[in-house]
Chains A and B, each alone.
Chain A
């Protein structure tokens, strides 16, 4: 029976293209200001997801990824069942990623590569990384008192997008396209005073991410322009937009980043090969 269960677990892990076993984290990547909690879900529905994320050591990895940040206040990373599909940052709770929201995003991921070229891995791993980095953006702005010009929601997207582009080309592609897919697949109907929302529309956020990617690595993201996902009227501004995000990052956040640890972070392959495909 135990053996059967074990085999079953292996089969499930193998079936999940998204989050399987953990990657190796260098021991230097420590930060006592960052904590994490996997809260067991009340609903049996999220039990498998909870276990998968825990086995994958998602929060350990996220903590290591953030370890170069010199944070004046403690930051806790939480996975929990919230009663709604959501993800947020608050000063009292820290980062909160809800099982409901991760489950929802995974349900939106394409089964096969879409005609526009969005892959299942982008829809699962990329979209998860986007929401995590976006909410962490809010957390970092708050923790470091970062001066923000422009809307904070867009700034959090640019924070996320900028980070996505500091690693390997395949990770850049997976995460930027994953972010774009996430907003495309969650698009709402905007009318009347729904435009008063503090967030941009999903389409605007879709274009913002693709534009940052194209601005940073034009050759790599040329396909999104060729496929008409990013119109030429916007594409021409993207190099400047990326430079502006970089300039803001360098001025406001980089002074709080430990450079030696950052080099180690940049050397880690954060996703397993099968999670990229």
Chain B
């Protein structure tokens, strides 16, 4: 009997690494309800020098994104989400520096202009606040994409948004960023902070308080506070030494907990837990990402 048990253990030990390897090798599927598309930038008249410069940058971004399969990766990243409708994610030229969620078409429209702006405002290596080029570019992409996804999930799941929807979309982006290991968390939260900090620096002290968006700096603080609330050790340096005053620091863990509670009550039932574990175990960022 003892011998038999020993053999069983041995067999298990032998099979186990193989099974693990097989699991790791079977790729996480794309979400069948997430349809992705890259629209080609439109080539301007060769005489229009300014438009040609913009086009070349958009074309380069388009080529890099298709080659890296960014949207296909995004669809795989979203595989645990059980959507009631097909969600489309497109990259395209918009003639404006922006990104949108279009509820009529259930479509995320991510503009090359916005990605170009992320690149143009990113530091060569690292800026005076310690934000890196990779954080500004890749993290900036994650932040805006997850923000627009926040609008999309509020719409398709009819979330109870009692506060302001723009802040809610930021909160969803921040919360999601924190669920996939320290690298994604640090990149996305720093990218969000860098994006809105750089927008604030370009706009100056002009505050459109009537707007349904919070001010750029309020958004910077909100992202950092949720990051710190969820992973205090990871964001300690940014938050405690640099960005948030003590009064706000004290509320961050409460803010994160509120958000976690809201997620658990509303979105968690729509998430496939087995797929989620696999997505959480996957390494999503590559060393070369953003280093162009």
Contact = CB atoms under 8 A, between A and B. Distances in A.
Interface in B9-23: none
A190 B172 CA distance: 26
Given A152-B258, A252-B160, A200 B214 contact: yes
Contact of B162 (A158, A191, A196, A233): A158
Given A149-B262, A190-B207, A251 B160 contact: yes
B210 A231 contact: yes
A226 interface: no
A154 B163 contact: yes
A26 B167 CA distance: 40
A206 B225 CA distance: 25
Interface SS of A by simple majority? helix
B162 A252 contact: yes
Interface string A130-159: 000000000000000111111111110011
A186 interface: no
A204 interface: yes
Nearest to B211: A234
Contacts of B248: 196-198
A149 B163 contact: yes
B241 interface: no
Q: Which 7 A-B pairs have the closest CB atoms?
A: A150-B163, A147-B262, A203-B209, A248-B160, A155-B162, A149-B168, A155-B163
A273 to B, nearest CB: 33
Nearest to A252: B160
A203 B210 CA distance: 7
Interface residues of A, number: 40
B126 interface: no
B262 A148 contact: yes
A277 interface: no
A66 B154 CA distance: 29
Interface in B234-281: 243-245, 247-248, 251, 255, 258-259, 261-262, 265-266
Contact of A201 (B154, B168, B209, B258): B209
B45 interface: no
B218 interface: yes
A198 B161 contact: no
Nearest to B158: A247
Contacts of B167: 150-151, 154
Interface in A150-180: 150-155, 158-159
A230 interface: yes
B258 A150 contact: no
